[in-house]
Structure 1
């Protein structure tokens, strides 16, 4: 094995979430033992298996062979599992046991809802989590009917895989110092919770000041309530191709209006320069109608010519997953790999999570055949335990300094996650502040989550003095995260080569929307843009759309609203999954450096992360299994795995596995099993959940509240340990989302958000800037102090 993680041994006894975690370790050189039951891992039936298991080794163990499993664990550096607490107890591998028996082991547990509480017995299943925390309810605008909607894309599993990966990498970094391992805990709920950008704080406002603020959907009774409906326009071309525009910033929206021939409206008193924020509801509808009509005047090819001529105007077509493999940017960046699989032939699939310039991954080794490596894996020798002296608690990223350059959500929230793990994170903003501070409907709300736990400084990086400050910060940093569009970092003099010249030991992570160069590197990328480009949105809601090209404006708007829900749900969108992946990528670079790789540039993008999330629909090879298809009404995937209305409320029923089907038939009401829906309609949702609580059948009532309201509630969020109370300089004391991963020995540090320039003065003083120099910089507008 080669790669920066060569020599590490990983045992993976896990489902989809843990496979995402283990795959990243395997790509970078770790020896990953995939433990499979007789008959093979359940994911072998998925088209994504050759991607998820590439580079791993396989051993088949009988379900009762706990001794064989424990022998593997005794020889491992990392254990990744997704057991319920009862299953861990059955195997004799509870966190309490492994931390004593194997002091060097990093033991990562990925549960559905945590290790305690009323849902701890449920498996780590996306649909169950979505139903319980309000995700299915919140997605209801995606369905062409009343009621909750099924999410076909496994946002929770992918995201929990990333939070687990962060915990594993942070614990391994800490082990480099202490010699001791520890338990890492996360859940699908925590993975999903990391996605939201500002709805948490809007929920906080509307709850705290109930008489002053009223929450409203993007579109209500056919009237847009949000400027994002226009700035992130979903429209249909003349030849029937759905397009997702990407015009969030003011200058980008003006460019789109000019391209539509509607720029005159900014100077017209009837409309006003504040477009698209028109007070009159009838005018808001008219503006929407006009924009859709003008987009419909051109074919997709004609719009592509507009994009080539006007770089500030951009839209992605809504692709299917396999179409993503032909995206010119993904190809340009080398993020499509071809693996020769002995069973399947050539398999095209997404490349590694991140590209490392000096210590690249090896994604070319195929997935193993069942039990192909049993002899080798049974020969693993147990790891010598460290001395009996106890390792004291410490922050896993103690002593790590992160310099954050870039704006909007994905890369900045990745920095916040590193701050939660104990890193010192310095966020550099322009004098006017991170644009997200003014993007939401209430000042500062949009940026609180991306400033949590950070030192926020504001400066003009275009000036020589501002650039020098960034270079001074880079000199003492360990990691730089930048997310500018292609060419911006170079123009500012803060690109990788420039800062590595200042500090050769830097881990410099490029994490833009598309890439640092190439055909789309200069394009604006937002969460809906990437959801459309990657096939995620089409997999979520494409089944609901009319298969006609002659839609009326009203039909177009109805379909567009469903696509908006599919691209921009607060808890299921590409900014969130990218932020989680940015933190994982930075930690991979740090661990590689700790193991001798030195400083280097790293490259990734939101588009690459989206390919990993949607892998089941993205991989391409001959005779591949079909991606499970949701029905046009968005109930679910089959009669035994779907949403059902009941006498009061809705349930999600999961009874697709053989043992679950048997358990369902054993219930008196389902013995005939003629019409599952008719049976479930006879009793309330809460009663069905109670009746199946001790059964193999998983059945949960759908929570009819937003995800943020559910997580923030005392009944769910506080009980589950998902809340941490902090003091924000504007909001005062409030609950924030607790760190998304916990460690048994190391502490995590949930910090508050910060205001523009709040820490400029203290950061410059720490760099040695005299008071008179700081005053001069402030007077000339080069820095802003809070």
Structure 2
């Protein structure tokens, strides 16, 4: 744990003032990131307090902020807010578009009143599409996008399943952070602020590493490729070889382990360790791991699980210590994740003394620098704790400053700009998804991203049967140079490129960058102005720094898998129950639509932009690190912030329908709908939207307290009502009453989000790539009122090798010689 007495400095965002008007999780996590980086975050709360204070994790979400209680319905409250905004650099709100407009949060009004202000609007559905007016509850977005369907194997049948991890909220939070930092960078040149938009729908699309293009291929060539289907068939038997490589099994003393033996040599080492290699000589197992029948797949799966169960956790830990080709990660709850040896080693766990709550344990900052958190974590404020000083600040003499601190004439300045990251060049050294997609997010904002690949290409390019489809998403907007950096000539090429770039992103395991000569010290000796960002799985050193990091392993270690699967404690029950729990844990952390790879990528994007902006402000950050494990624990800060007497989060019901009668799925006459009407103000519109109240008029449901006490009975009544009509009819009627309700999409999220409905709504856009020609891709995660974005397609392996070599001074003869020698491709 970090010693809170350490002098950690003021942080790279010191001096940046943020007015936080958000009342929901994505806004809270965005401004928490900014406060963690040193910004002065002013939390504007209603007199009764922010709804966020009802979240059990509020001490983590609100940490480091100052609180002012304002009634924005009266003139005095509005005047104070106006004074604060006049002094602010950034404002953040999670209001729906109509409410934001009533408060004056439109691009035109903000530019006129506060020309330097960067205003981030975080919404559920965006501000311009056909669903922009709807309530933006997390589960509604996951239901409509198809994520609840993608996670259906959390349950035994084919029905969609409720998802607990706040994937959409965390994505929208990091998208807002990236948009804010990009707009602040642009302001350094223009002197002008602008409105930045982020939404939960587009955010959730960032998680999937490659299935978007898998679905694209299936749609284009339906006769050429057979869909693989779900991980398990309807009898719970494995359907793909992945269940062996990503085996989940319990030790003899009851600890669940997630293995990740994905490469052929790792699988062989795994089978040797289990003592199963000799059995494969039996013709019965011909074709392993692609076994032909479900019976054989189920039998082999059971063999592996049984072998793991012959040893204790301690015995397996001794194997992991002695055999570098075999590794399994423990499944931990969110609280247990903060005991992870790697997090403790890095000081990514802090304890903050709170005068009312006592010690509060929580994750440190998402980004670390110089081997420590960015700043000293400060406690969350009490409601209105800083009201007096902030009202005085707001009432003081107002001045509008440009980026350099001089006074500006705040006239009508609505000029449009180009790409907010124009002129920024990133050199990417990494494989697969988490780190590389973080760089893709910057490419969408206008950065030039040069991807350095081995001659055989990034492994992600070949992860699917269709050539190049696996890497298409992570390669969007990039230039590819294929070079063998293990050779002297290849390393020289890389070092020449480093002279031309602003940022280097490296994603190797601990020690690899130094071993091949591309560590921070080596590259800064060539380019002292370089921003260097590390994005490993576990860390750049420490007990797990050299371990392989895959999304399922990180999901297990961070608490993400357990949060979704709701498997708590030791394995329980008979053999069938054990296998059922293993399947649920698999669905918890391995479903591509939403998992820890995507979480980590979002964190990398924020880390890159923070490093760039700090450099632009003249602040030198060294050893910038954002890890997959650290980012995933940040995503769960509302669940892993712990203190004595912490209230429990509402549990998910046994059928994975939801957490209460008013926040769950119901069967309609033709499928499923999701109802999100948990607030007191939602009840009357819901009853009106349902028509004849019937049993809903019963005194058991007369008040919110009575409804909570009779939750099962209320669910029974609503089940009968919703079964009478189609899900589309219910969605239309209840949405018209401003009740949160959507028809649950029952096809994979990655397929549905590139369909016409989501394309027409603006969540997917057109792009062109050398592999897929014209196609649809996920829209950039931000929209700007003045700046543009650049949604491009992917690149082929070595597509830009020749051009990049010419740009650094290599002539044709030298390039041809390098190709002949196998140095470049």
Same fold judged by TM-score > 0.5? yes
Contact 2:446 2:789 in 1 (8 A): yes
1:311-351 residue CA offsets vs partner (Å, 9 max, x unmatched): 22111111111101110000111101121222211211101
Matched, 1:701 2:717: no
Alpha-carbon displacement from aligned partner over 1:622-661 (angstroms, at most 9, x marks no partner): 1112233212221111122111112232221122212123
In the aligned structure 1, how far is the partner of 2:125 from the partner of 2:425?
32
1:76 counterpart (76, 88, 97): 88
- Of the three residues 710, 729, 752, the one matched with 1:710 is 752
Partner of 1:30: 39
With 525-534 and 131-140 compared, the bigger mean Cα shift is at 131-140
CA offset digits 1:37-86 (Å, max 9, x no partner): 12211121222111111110111122414444333222211111111111
Report how far residue 419 of structure 1 moved: 0.7
Q: How does 1:123-272 map to 2 (within 5 A)?
A: 123-215=135-227, 216-221=229-234, 222-264=236-278, 271=285
Residues 448-476 of structure 1, C-alpha deviations (whole Å, 9 max, x = no match): 11111111111111112222222222222
Name 1:511's counterpart in structure 2.
535
Q: Who is 2:503 aligned against?
A: 479
Unaligned runs of 5+ in 1: none
1:624-663 mapped onto 2 (5 Å cutoff): 624-663=646-685
Q: 1:659 to 1:549 in 2, by over 3 A?
A: closer
1:317 aligns with 2:340: no
Q: Secondary structure at the match of 2:353?
A: strand
Check if 1:724 corresponds to 2:783: no
> 1:577 aligns to what SS in structure 2?
helix
TM-superposed CA distance for 1:263, in Å, is 2.9
Q: Secondary structure at the match of 1:612?
A: helix
1:333 equivalent in structure 2 = 346
Structure 1 contact 76–383 (Cα < 8 Å) conserved = no
1:226 deviates by 2.6
Cα distance between partner residues in 2 of 1:548 and 1:507: 46
Change in 2 beyond 3 A, CA 1:358/1:316: closer
Name the SS of the counterpart of 1:650 in structure 2.
Answer: strand
Among 702, 708, 723, which residue is 1:681 paired with?
Answer: 723
2:400 aligned with 1:384, yes or no?
A: yes
What is the CA distance between 1:571 and its match in structure 2?
2.5
Deviations 1:671-715 (A, max 9, x none): 234523222223322222222223353222212222122211112
Partner of 1:4: 12
Match of 1:592 in 2: 614
How far the C-alpha of 1:151 sits from its partner, in A, is 0.8
Offset, 1:502: 1.6
Q: 1:739 aligns with which of 767, 780, 798?
A: 780
Q: How far did residue 171 of structure 1 move?
A: 0.4
Counterpart secondary structure, 1:712? coil
Say which is worse superposed, 156-165 or 299-308, in terms of deviation: 299-308
Asked if 1 retains the 8 angstrom alpha-carbon contact of 2:765 and 2:776, the reply is yes
Distance 1:646 1:342 in 2: 49
Aligned to 1:608: 630
Rounded to whole Å, the distance in 2 between the matches of 1:503 and 1:265 is 55
Residue number in structure 2 paired with 1:287: 300
CA distance in 1, matches of 2:569, 2:629: 27
Would you say how many aligned residue pairs link Structure 1 and Structure 2?
A: 780
Q: 1:665 to 1:363 in 2, by over 3 A?
A: farther
* Residues 367 and 626 in structure 2, CA contact (< 8 A), matched pair in contact too: yes
- Summarize the Cα distance change of 1:732–1:696 in structure 2 as closer, same or farther, 3 Å threshold: closer
SS of the equivalent of 1:774 reads helix
1:83–1:123 Cα contact (<8 Å) kept:
no
> Which position in structure 2 is the counterpart of 1:751?
792
- Residue of structure 2 equivalent to 1:574: 596
Equivalent residues of 2:572, 2:578 under 8 A apart:
no
Q: Does 1:779 align with 2:817?
A: no
Cα gap change, 1:363/1:189 in structure 2, threshold over 3 Å: closer, same or farther?
farther
SS at match of 2:41: strand
Once the two structures are superposed, residues 293-315 of structure 1 have per-residue CA deviations (whole angstroms, 9 ceiling, x without a partner) of 21122222221111111122111
Structure 2 unaligned regions, length at least 5: 1-8, 402-407, 702-713
CA contact (8 A) 2:254 2:570 kept: no
Cα distance change of structure 1 residues 730 and 550 upon mapping to structure 2, 3 Å threshold: same
2:704 corresponds to: none
Q: Deviations for 1:576-596, whole angstroms, at most 9, x for unmatched residues?
A: 011011010010011111111
2:468 & 2:376 partners in 1: Cα distance? 42
Match of 1:551 in 2: 574
Query: 2:711 maps to what in 1?
Result: none
Does the 8 Å CA contact 1:485/1:516 hold for their aligned counterparts? yes
Taking the aligned partners of 1:144 and 1:690, their CA distance within structure 2 comes to 30
Q: 1:223 to 1:632 in 2, by over 3 A?
A: closer
Give the match's secondary structure for 1:253. helix
Q: Which moved more, 1:564-573 or 1:654-663?
A: 654-663
1:279: Cα distance to partner? Answer: 4.3
